[in-house]
Structure 1
Amino acid sequence: MARIDVEAPGAPEAAAPRGAWWAGTTPQIFVGLALGILLGALWPETAVAIKPVADAFLRMIKMIIAPLLFSTLVVGIAGTGDMKAMGRIGLKALVYFEIATTIALFLGLGLVNWFQPGAGVALSGTGTEAVAAMAQKQQTLTEIFLHLFPTSIFDAMARGDILQVVVFASFFGVALAGVGEKGRPVLEFLESVAQVMFRFTHYVMKFAPLGVMAAMAATVGGRGLAILLTLGKLVGVMYLGLFIFLFLVIGGVAMLIRVPFFTFLRAIREPFLIAFTTASSEAALPKALEVMARFGVPRNIVGFVLPTGYSFNLDGTTLYLSIASVFVAQLAGLQMSWGQQLVMMLTLMLTSKGVAGVPRGALVVLTAALGTFGLPLEGAAILLGIDQVLDMGRTAVNVTGNCLATAVVARWEGVLDDRQIEAFR
C-alpha cells in the first residue's frame, strides 16, 4: 500500500506561546460566564429572551463539525498509509474507554451509597409524561449497531451525526491510501479544506464569549438559583464525584503517561469552558480537535479517538447515571443490593453507547432503565428539573476525558510529541 506523506493541518501554529493562559478568548469567556450568571439572577426574563443568541452560536459550531472532522480524519488516516496502525489505535482507544468508564461507574456508586442524597426528598407526580416520552426514544442493541453505518454521508453530515461521519471517513481514508498516488489530488484538497476549517473555527470562536454569556444567562434565568438549594445534596454529590474523577482519575492517568496535568488543563481550558457553559459536547469538539493537535497528539489519532469517545467514553455521563439511578431508588425507599446495582449499571453502560447525539441523552437512558428495573419515573421527573445544572458538569468532564484519551493512545503508540507539550508550560 502506497504511503502518502502530508504535512499535518495547522502545523505552523503547533505550539502556544509560553505564559499564554490569558491569551485569546479565554478571559472573555470567563467574563461572559460571570455576566451570564449576573444577568440570569437579576433580570431572568431578559436572560431567557436572549437564549436565541446562544442557540445561534451553537448552530455556528455545528456547521463546522462535519467538514472539519471529515477532512482531518481522512487526511490523518490516508497520510499514515498504515491500516494496521489505525486498527491498533482503535483497539487501544476502546480498552482505555472501558477502563475509564468503569472507574467512573464505581466512583458514582460509592458516593451515592455513602451520602444517600435521595433520602428525605419527597417524590412528585408532576412531569412524568415528559419523562415517559423520553423512555420511548431508547434504542435496541440492533438499532445501535446499524446506526453506525450511514445510508448517506450527506444525510449524516446534515444531521450532525458524529459517529456516522467517523465511520464513513475511516473507510474513505483507507480507500484513499489504497489508491496511492492517484489519490494525491483528493488528499491535497482535503488537507486544504482542513486548513480552511481550522481558520473558520478560529473566527467562530470569536463569538464564544457572547454565546457563553447568553447560554449561562438563559440557564440561570429559566431555572433560577433556588433549584440548586432544593436538591443541593444531589448536586453536591454529583459535582464532588466529577471533581474527584477530574483530579484523581484523569490527573492520575496524566501522571502515568507523563503529561503534566495542569499543563493539560491549561491547554484544554477553552473547550472545557465551552462544554460547561453550553452543556454541549459538540460545541467543544472543533476547538478540542485543534487544541489536542497543538498539544502534540498526531492528527490521525485526534481525529479518530476524540469523536469516537463521544459515544464510547462518556466518563461524566457514566458517573451521573450511576448516581442518578440509585438516587431514584433512594427516593422510592427501595434498598437495592450491590448485585442489583451492578446489573443496572452494566445495563446503563451498554445502552448509553447509542445516545451520544440524542438531546438529554443521559435522561433517555436513565428513564428506560427505570422502567426496566421497576423504579418510579417520578424520580426522573425531579432530575429533569435540574438536569441542565448537572449536564453542564458531566459534559465538561466528558470532553476532558476524551481529550486525555487522545494523549493516552498517542503515548501508548509512542508518538506523543513532548516538545509541543513543553511549549504549553
Structure 2
Amino acid sequence: MQPTVVAEPPVVLPWYRHLYVQVLIAITLGALLGHFAPGTGEAMKPLGDAFIKLVKMIIGPVIFLTIVTGIAGMTHLRAVGRVFGKAMAYFLFFSTLALVVGLVVANVVQPGAGMNVNVADLDHSVVDGYVSKSHDLTLVGFVLDMIPDTLVSAFTGGNILQVLLVSVLFGIALALSGDRGRPVADFLESLTIPVFRLVRILMQAAPIGAFGAIAFTIGKYGLGVLVQLGWLVGSFYLTSLLFVLVILGAMCRLCGFSVLKLIRYLKAELLLVLGTSSSESALPALMEKMEHAGCGKQVVGLVVPTGYSFNLDGTNIYMTLAALFIAQATNIELSLGQQVTLLLVAMLSSKGAAGVTGAGFITLAATLSVVPDVPVAGMALILGVDRFMSECRSLTNFIGNAVATVVVARWDNALDRARLAAVLDGHVVDPVAPPHPTRPMGH
C-alpha cells in the first residue's frame, strides 16, 4: 500500500524570481551579446568558467555525503552490489541502443553525402590536440585512473569515478563499524544539510554563468557555422529529441511516469546545462531533486555519479552519427562489418567522458584513432559546430541519467511512487533540505 502524500501549499513567487526564468533570460542576453558584439562576448568566458569551477568544487562532497550516509543506513550491504548491478545493466543496454540509433540515422539521413571532401585538403593540425588527449582513453588507463593516488586526492582531481570509489569503500567500512561508527554517520548526516544549502547558494549564480558561457560560444564561433553544417546539427538534435521522447519516454511510461513531466520538473537544471554545455554543472542539483522526488537516497548516490561516466546517451548518439558523417563527407564506404567494429570501439571509448565540455569530441578522436577506416583529420569538418552539438549531448546525457535514477529506484523498490507523482504534478514544493526516505532500499 502506497503512503499518502499530503500536498504542500505551493509558494507563489514572482515570475522573475524563478531560477529557470533567470537562466533563460541570461542565455538570451548572452546570445545577443555574442552575436552583435563578438569580441565582448568572447571576453565573457571567465564568467562561465568561474561558475563551472564553483559547481565542481562542491560535487565531491555532495557525492561523498550522499553515498556514505546512504550505505551506512543500509540493513544489508549486498544491496549496494544489487543496485550497482541493476544500474550497470540499464547503462549498458541504453548506451548501446544510443550508439545503434546514431548509426541507423546516419545511414538513413546521410548527412555527409554529396560534400565530396578531399582528406588531403583538410587541416590536420586543428585536431592534433584532441588526438593526443584521446590516447589516454584506453581501457586499462581508464580502470587505473579510477584509483586515486591518496584518499584525499580523489576530491582534488576532479574525477567523479575516483570520488565514487572512495565513497563506496568508506560507506561500507562505516556500515561494518557498527555502533562505534554511529557518531561518524550522525555527523555526516548532519553535514549534508549545510552542504546542500551551499549548493542552493551556488545555484543563484547560475544565470551569470550561463550568460558568460553562451556569450563566449556565440561570440567565438558565430551562428554561421550552424548554417554551413546545419544538416548534421539538425539531424543530431532531432535524433536526440526522438531518443528522449520515444525510447526513454517509453521506458518512463512502463515505469508509471511521464518523461515530459520529468523534463518540466528539471527545467531549471536543463537550462543551466544548455547555457554551460556541461551536464556536470547541474549534477548536485540533480541528486537533490531526484531524492526529493521520492528516489531512495542510496539509489541516487550510486546511480547518478556512475551514470555520468557510463550512461552517456547523447555522447553515444553523437559518436556514431559524427563518425559516419565524416566517412560520407570524404566518400568512404563503410561495410556493415566496419560499422559494427566502429560501434564496438565506441562502446569502450565513450566511457569516462563524464560531463566535461568537449569530452565527446575527444572520445570521437579516440574511436577514430582505433578504427583506421575513417580519417581522424575529418574531424576538422565538425570542429566548428562541435560546441553547439556539445549542448545537445549534455542535455541528452542529463535527461538519460535522471530517467535511469527513477527506473533503477523503481526496479529496486526504493521509489516512493505517490511522492514522485505528486512532485511531477507540481503538488509538492522543494524543501529546504531533501527528504530522507526511511524505507530501507530493496524492502
TM-score (norm 1): 0.92
Q: Name 1:4's counterpart in structure 2.
A: none
- What secondary structure is seen at the aligned counterpart in 2 of 1:80? coil
* Higher share in helix: 1
Return the alpha-carbon distance in structure 1 between the equivalents of residues 405 and 271 of structure 2: 19
Contact 2:42 2:219 in 1 (8 A): yes
Q: Which moved more, 1:102-111 or 1:352-361?
A: 352-361
Q: Name 2:221's counterpart in structure 1.
A: 223
Q: Name 1:10's counterpart in structure 2.
A: none
Contact 1:132 1:367 in 2 (8 A): no
Q: Which moved more, 1:89-98 or 1:37-46?
A: 37-46
Q: Name 1:420's counterpart in structure 2.
A: 419
How far did residue 276 of structure 1 move?
A: 1.9
Aligned residues: 413
Change (3 A) 1:421 1:357: closer
How far did residue 36 of structure 1 move?
A: 1.4
Q: Deviations over 1:108-140 (max 9, x none)?
A: 111111111112333574542242332232322
Contact 2:278 2:357 in 1 (8 A): no
Q: Deviations over 1:191-222 (max 9, x none)?
A: 12211111001011111111111111111111
- What secondary structure is seen at the aligned counterpart in 2 of 1:354? coil
Return the alpha-carbon distance in structure 2 between the equivalents of residues 127 and 182 of structure 1: 63
How far did residue 84 of structure 1 move?
A: 0.9
Partner AA of 2:349 in structure 1: T
Pairing 1:133–2:132 present: no
Q: Deviations over 1:41-95 (max 9, x none)?
A: 1111111111111111111111111111111110111111321111100000011
Q: Which moved more, 1:85-94 or 1:345-354?
A: 345-354
Q: Name 1:390's counterpart in structure 2.
A: 389
Q: Name 1:101's counterpart in structure 2.
A: 95
How far did residue 18 of structure 1 move?
A: 8.6
Q: RMSD over aligned Cα, in angstroms?
A: 2.1
Q: Name 2:404's counterpart in structure 1.
A: 405
Q: Name 1:185's counterpart in structure 2.
A: 183
Return the alpha-carbon distance in structure 1 between the equivalents of residues 149 and 225 of structure 2: 43
- What secondary structure is seen at the aligned counterpart in 2 of 1:296? coil
Return the alpha-carbon distance in structure 2 between the equivalents of residues 17 and 128 of structure 1: 56
Return the alpha-carbon distance in structure 2 between the equivalents of residues 394 and 405 of structure 1: 16
Return the alpha-carbon distance in structure 2 between the equivalents of residues 265 and 369 of structure 1: 31
Return the alpha-carbon distance in structure 2 between the equivalents of residues 319 and 18 of structure 1: 39
Partner AA of 1:383 in structure 2: I
Which structure 2 residues correspond to residues 13-412 of structure 1 after superposition, within 5 A?
Answer: 17=10, 24-121=18-115, 122-123=117-118, 125-137=121-133, 138=135, 139-356=137-354, 360-374=358-372, 375-412=374-411
Contact 2:154 2:166 in 1 (8 A): no
Change (3 A) 1:419 1:17: farther
Change (3 A) 1:17 1:105: farther
Change (3 A) 1:16 1:338: farther
How far did residue 16 of structure 1 move?
A: 9.2
Q: Deviations over 1:254-286 (max 9, x none)?
A: 101111222211222122222222111211101
Return the alpha-carbon distance in structure 2 between the equivalents of residues 160 and 259 of structure 1: 34
Partner AA of 1:90 in structure 2: F
Gaps of 5+ in 2: 1-6, 426-443
Return the alpha-carbon distance in structure 2 between the equivalents of residues 359 and 31 of structure 1: 22
Return the alpha-carbon distance in structure 2 between the equivalents of residues 410 and 19 of structure 1: 31
Return the alpha-carbon distance in structure 2 between the equivalents of residues 212 and 361 of structure 1: 19
Return the alpha-carbon distance in structure 1 between the equivalents of residues 406 and 421 of structure 2: 14
Contact 1:48 1:222 in 2 (8 A): yes
How far did residue 301 of structure 1 move?
A: 0.7
Gaps of 5+ in 1: 1-13
Contact 2:349 2:366 in 1 (8 A): no
TM-score (norm 2): 0.89
Contact 2:278 2:356 in 1 (8 A): no
Change (3 A) 1:47 1:97: same
